[in-house]
Structure 1
């Protein structure tokens, strides 16, 4: 445990220095243990496990274009993302890990207690066992606080899900060299630090009740909300039945408008992303050396909530969005979720709604502005700018069929159901929790008080 965050940052810097790693770009044909299938061109591991890169053909009536094909990561196995919680002097703390992932912007970031694919924790690679894994697999000794299957990036994964778990324990927990206990208050502050708390931590932390909530039973409280939760869930179900998402897997070699060279798989106009190869050496992973393909986006993304007070309760504007790999036609997504560079030169009518509003927002309206890496085990230097843009009271409450205002409390409650809220929205919700926690401390210091998360004093 750390008395203040300066102690944590010193510890984190020491862990980075203690764990050496080397990450090199290599040709796809030189990836150890990986091969292109002679008939399909699919890129897969020799064991048939971990993941593969295949082709996908998509047809939908809910995107800017009606059909396209693309490479996509196929990883049907369900991994575990788990955070262990324990109270010290009545204050909940989370056991977090300084973990190297080859795709992270700065290599080492703050990870959950356990972050492992099934192939990893079943030791297909014949490496070391995953620490603390037994705490998350039944029969476990702790109390389950949160347990849900959650989606990952639908634009790059085909229907990928991980099990998000938070388990509270009371007994002794040995703390490994790369692990530390952090209070929720400390984590809330660290969520607002650039490229520090990794995506896997953010999605699990989004499953906690928001700051100021005494327990999960209050998460579903609709008090002060513009719409009841039942209406929001009906709006989501309506969208799933209204829109079309038809797709089929196809050989990677048959994907239109994409080309393969020794170094990469890329779009013929060099847009969207590339598939590249890397070779890794690391001293603090289950195996000390491995090779793998990675998906490398060409541009930074923007993930933004437009937020506002409605009465005394803070709301964010969400949308239903379809991606190539979305498991169930649409998910609840932030107001804006795109890579703006992909829309350069297009007329306003063909650009994502509210994108230009968010990009032009004055500093006085921006309450959260932080860059975070995405999943560093599969994506190479993927980074999004996460924003909360606070809008005035006269901002419209009606934004069209695909958008709806939802209170922070309601969104946190829907996250707990699993498979309804996109990973980008969950990541941004975790950052929003950090902002709300900071606001709560400010108002408390002014002799005010908040009745709950996102409640105006």
Structure 2
């Protein structure tokens, strides 16, 4: 492996260095052909066996006899509890549901390093029990606090010290971000990008790749996992320095995207966007309280699943796992199994020749704050197939009926396989024809990619689905 780094030019801004890596669609460190061979080899070596089992066979996991909550004997990892919700957002004013309660904060981290003047990311081939295809490309470190403190008694997490002991000047990004607010209760992870300049051993499950190589891999179904996507979204991928670096953009869509990244001519000022977010947080009401799982209405526990009486939304199931290359070789755990393929879509429009996306201020019961910025459409379409028009999400039909030529990004990607069983969403960006009227509403605003990048420097503004689409859009052109 080539490890030459050269002397960094301190006159080059971080945005330009990121742009240079984004333009590197191949690398002498890990050439694309070598990556494909390595990936195929790891897929063969890291096969796992995941078997659904009855709850009675969960071993160290059990239901509390008083509350019905499902938890681990150690008191760590996470709980499946109940949540009661009352809200003025959406067609249902109140309901109760199971939810994952995991108050501990994990670390999702990517190490970066320059090779021959180009930033590379150290990525990991990793299996998760809920992955539909076993192996996906993960961050350098992807660990809950229970895992990295070795509650399971297994091996230590590689490269963890680089994040826990990072010096301020090494940190490119460091921010707490939420996860799915419909399935997690106030879940947060520390998203970190840390730059190193020394040699580190590269394990057989790890490879250095450029940002450009990652962007290309984001077009492959179920290859780049959710944790990698959320960390990559936190890159400070915006600012005037990108304009010159991407001067090769040679079509109208590419030029509009670059302008969106560099902060040109936004439809709304940053002050207006912040005021709108504050208004949404103040205008919407959502009241949540954790309740015993055995008090959740309309959900029923069978021997091998907890499911809604109508068979909708999701189920809680149990699995037995045998996996190679993990900190421990075998374990059992609960997982949440969604019903149906999810959809997360941005509607895009060139306003004054600058790409804007229509962002939704969305209420979800598990958010730490009332709203986070979400894609234009975020739902499971099957759940709305027979609903009346006024109960269907705004713009859903525009996305579902979009002609092929209007689709700018379209990939099926997995959600977090450590908690969800075969959870997949279609991530899509649609640029409707000019004669398709797309209006802002009190909960929707047109924003540039630079404005979203600025908000991603802070916690709890941009939700996990929108973060995936931001990452995909940065490389889609």
- Counterpart in 1 of 2:446? 405
Residue 409 (structure 1) shift: 1.2
Unaligned 5+ runs, structure 2: 2-26, 243-258
- What is the CA–CA distance in structure 1 between the aligned matches of 2:277 and 2:151, rounded to whole Å? 39
Moved more, 65-74 or 281-290: 281-290
1:324 maps to 2:324: no
Secondary structure, in 3 states, of the residue corresponding to 2:328? coil
Secondary structure, in 3 states, of the residue corresponding to 1:159? coil
Distance 1:104 1:131, change over 3 A: same
- What is the CA–CA distance in structure 2 between the aligned matches of 1:119 and 1:213, rounded to whole Å? 41
- Counterpart in 2 of 1:69? 96
Residue 364 (structure 1) shift: 0.4
1:388 maps to 2:432: no
Secondary structure, in 3 states, of the residue corresponding to 1:72? strand
1:238 maps to 2:279: yes
- Counterpart in 2 of 1:377? 418
- Counterpart in 1 of 2:327? 286
Distance 1:29 1:212, change over 3 A: same
Which of 2, 5, 9 pairs up with 2:36? Answer: 9
Residue 7 (structure 1) shift: 2.1
Residue 347 (structure 1) shift: 1.4
Secondary structure, in 3 states, of the residue corresponding to 1:399? coil
Residue 140 (structure 1) shift: 4.3
Distance 1:33 1:140, change over 3 A: farther
1:431 maps to 2:458: no
- Counterpart in 1 of 2:173? 146
Distance 1:367 1:221, change over 3 A: closer
Which of 297, 300, 309 pairs up with 1:259? Answer: 300
Which of 279, 298, 303 pairs up with 2:344? Answer: 303
- Counterpart in 2 of 1:445? none
Which of 166, 187, 190 pairs up with 2:193? Answer: 166
- What is the CA–CA distance in structure 1 between the aligned matches of 2:38 and 2:265, rounded to whole Å? 42
- Counterpart in 1 of 2:79? 52
- What is the CA–CA distance in structure 2 between the aligned matches of 1:72 and 1:282, rounded to whole Å? 26
Deviations 1:4-41 (A, max 9, x none): 42321111110111123211111112102101000000
Residue 369 (structure 1) shift: 0.7
Deviations 1:145-169 (A, max 9, x none): 0010000000000010000000011
Unaligned 5+ runs, structure 1: 440-457
1:123 maps to 2:176: no
1:20 maps to 2:61: no
Q: Is the 8 A contact 2:178 2:463 kept in 1?
A: yes
Q: Is the 8 A contact 2:221 2:413 kept in 1?
A: yes
- Counterpart in 1 of 2:230? 203
Q: Is the 8 A contact 1:221 1:410 kept in 2?
A: no
Matched residue pairs, number? 435
Q: Is the 8 A contact 2:260 2:354 kept in 1?
A: no
- Counterpart in 2 of 1:356? 397
Moved more, 158-167 or 396-405: 396-405
- Counterpart in 2 of 1:346? 387
Q: Is the 8 A contact 1:211 1:433 kept in 2?
A: no
Secondary structure, in 3 states, of the residue corresponding to 2:272? helix
Residue 220 (structure 1) shift: 8.8
- What is the CA–CA distance in structure 2 between the aligned matches of 1:359 and 1:278, rounded to whole Å? 34
Residue 176 (structure 1) shift: 0.5
- Counterpart in 1 of 2:115? 88
- What is the CA–CA distance in structure 2 between the aligned matches of 1:203 and 1:141, rounded to whole Å? 21
- Counterpart in 1 of 2:355? 314
Residue 271 (structure 1) shift: 0.7
Residue 141 (structure 1) shift: 8.5
Q: Is the 8 A contact 2:175 2:192 kept in 1?
A: yes
- What is the CA–CA distance in structure 2 between the aligned matches of 1:353 and 1:77, rounded to whole Å? 35
Residue 333 (structure 1) shift: 0.4
Distance 1:213 1:134, change over 3 A: farther
- What is the CA–CA distance in structure 2 between the aligned matches of 1:396 and 1:429, rounded to whole Å? 23
Moved more, 30-39 or 138-147: 138-147
Residue 209 (structure 1) shift: 3.2
Residue 219 (structure 1) shift: 9.5
Measured on the aligned residues, the alpha-carbon RMSD in Å equals: 1.8
- Counterpart in 2 of 1:444? none
- What is the CA–CA distance in structure 2 between the aligned matches of 1:71 and 1:336, rounded to whole Å? 24
TM-score by length of 1: 0.92
- Counterpart in 1 of 2:19? none
